[in-house]
Amino acid sequence: MTKTRTQTGSLCAAKNGSGNPIWIFRWWETRADGTKVRRKKQVGPLAQYPSAEDAEKAIRNWRIAVAANQPHAFNGFTMGDLIAHFRATELLDIGEDGRAWSTRDRYSSTLNCWVEPRWGHEDLSAIKAPQVEKWLRDLKQKPRRRKDDRMASDVNDLKPLARGTKAKIRNLMSVLFNHAIRWQFVDRNPISGPQRGSGVRQGSKRMQIPDILGISEMQDIVSNLQIRERTLLFLDVATGLRRGELAGLKWKDIDFKKMLIYVERSVVNQVVGPCKTETSKKPVPLDEHTAQDLLKWYRITPYREPEDWIFASNSNRAGKKRGKQPLWLSTIMRYHIQPVVRKLNIQKRVTWHTFRRTFTSLLTSNREDIKVVQELLRHGSSRVTMDIYAQANMLDKRKAQLKVIDEIRPPGSKTE
């Protein structure tokens, strides 16, 4: 009789009541009171699993369930089981070798909001690419809630979820299945598919083009800001720093002699973590005008020690954390910068990332070398710089167009 035995149960060939050869899986189940009970389960006939290797593949998830003492998983390893395992092994804070806090937070939010409610009870083997594709296509934004816990928006009026968000959900589900393959829970990834085009198809093309501010609009905004907000804005638009990097600056990171800014950390939701990539940690040049604004702010702020945050929270509501944590830049944007934008009647959506994009577009408009632009933005690839961030302004497009028209029109011809 063929038999394989491990600490997570034993597999053996036997005969059923009719005398037909079958595979049997036996294991010990630990009850809540600590006692152990012998269990067994039929795997299938030898005709279906001709060899022990074939039968082992069928009970792979069962052995995992035995190791975790989760007998309910014998009915099938579900997406909920996979998510629980993913959280326990991949979403842990293990320092610089693990995922950044912002990534772990985004993953957790996506799992809680979208993936687990829909797919948590589904057996992994039952999840097919067309099902996921249709689900993504029909997704809509979640209704907002008011402070009294009532819905602030009508469910029937909800807009479709942005393609970029759908693509992130799709990519995270692919990460989950890759995790399952790595731990030998399954042997396929229906999201990516065995070959190109056979998995879940979900584009990430933007539904709206991001807004870029013009020079006159930037000048108008700056002239209406106080010194703290003006310094923040100039640091963002003149260096291309990300919001988390901007919040994470300390006075020791500014070298006024060498005119450099050392980007050492990123702060997301008041959690201090490493920068997005190794490339992000490259020093950033500091211009004289921004340096002067920083020095003016240095003379005003009560927090001037090298270890102090440059833009430390000075609100009474911060309590004991006053001066010991950076400002919430989303609050600065909402209550100090966006009101100025509305006052100036600028019909554009302005966020901190708008200034980083504006910085990129101004550099490309000035015909700066693409490698220089990439290094200033600290992107890992120039493709990201040009395809995602940079936008040509209308004046440059008209000039380029006129050059071509002047070349191909007959000499002496006039526009009627």
- Secondary structure (3-state) at 285: strand
- Helix-strand-coil split of the chain, %, nearest 5: 50, 15, 40
Which ranges constitute the DSSP H helices of 226-308? 227-239, 243-247, 288-300
How does pLDDT run across 371-410, given as a tens digit for each residue?
888 888 777 676 666 666 656 556 665 666 566 656 655 6
pLDDT: which is higher, 149 or 286: 286
Q: What is the pLDDT of residue 410?
A: 63
Q: What is the pLDDT of residue 39?
A: 80
Q: What is the C-alpha separation between 403 and 414, in angstroms, rounded?
A: 15
Tokens encoding 268? 């997301």
Q: What is the C-alpha separation between 246 and 181, in angstroms, rounded?
A: 39
How does pLDDT run across 19-52, given as a tens digit for each residue?
889 998 888 877 767 788 788 888 888 888 888 8
One-letter amino acid for residue 240 of the chain: G
Say how many Å lie between the first and final Cα of the chain, rounded.
95
How does pLDDT run across 277-303, given as a tens digit for each residue?
777 788 889 988 899 999 999 999 999
Residue 416 pLDDT level (bands cut at 50, 70, 90): very low
Q: What is the pLDDT of residue 176?
A: 96
Q: What is the C-alpha separation between 61 and 30, in angstroms, rounded?
A: 17
Lowest mean pLDDT among 1-5, 77-81, 329-333: 1-5
Residue 155 pLDDT level (bands cut at 50, 70, 90): low
- How remote is the C-alpha of 235 from its chain's centroid? 24
Q: Are 347 and 341 in contact (CB under 8 A)?
A: no
- Secondary structure (3-state) at 135: helix
CB within 8 Å of 335: residues ≥ 6 apart = none
Mean of the pLDDT values across residues 66-94? Answer: 77
How does pLDDT run across 102-141, given as a tens digit for each residue?
888 899 999 999 999 999 988 887 899 999 999 999 999 8
For the chain, give every domain's residue range. Answer: 3-75, 80-182, 215-395
Q: 215-395, superfamily in CATH?
A: Intergrase catalytic core (1.10.443.10)
Q: Are 226 and 281 in contact (CB under 8 A)?
A: no
Give the predicted TM-score (pTM) of the model.
Answer: 0.67
Q: What is the C-alpha separation between 382 and 375, in angstroms, rounded?
A: 9
Lowest mean pLDDT among 26-35, 299-308, 343-352: 26-35
CB within 8 Å of 361: residues ≥ 6 apart = 212, 389, 390, 391, 392, 393
Mean of the pLDDT values across residues 160-173? Answer: 93
Tokens encoding 330? 């989303």
Q: Are 193 and 129 in contact (CB under 8 A)?
A: yes
Torsion angle in degrees (nearest 10) through CA of 311, 314, 315, 320: 110
Q: What is the pLDDT of residue 415?
A: 47
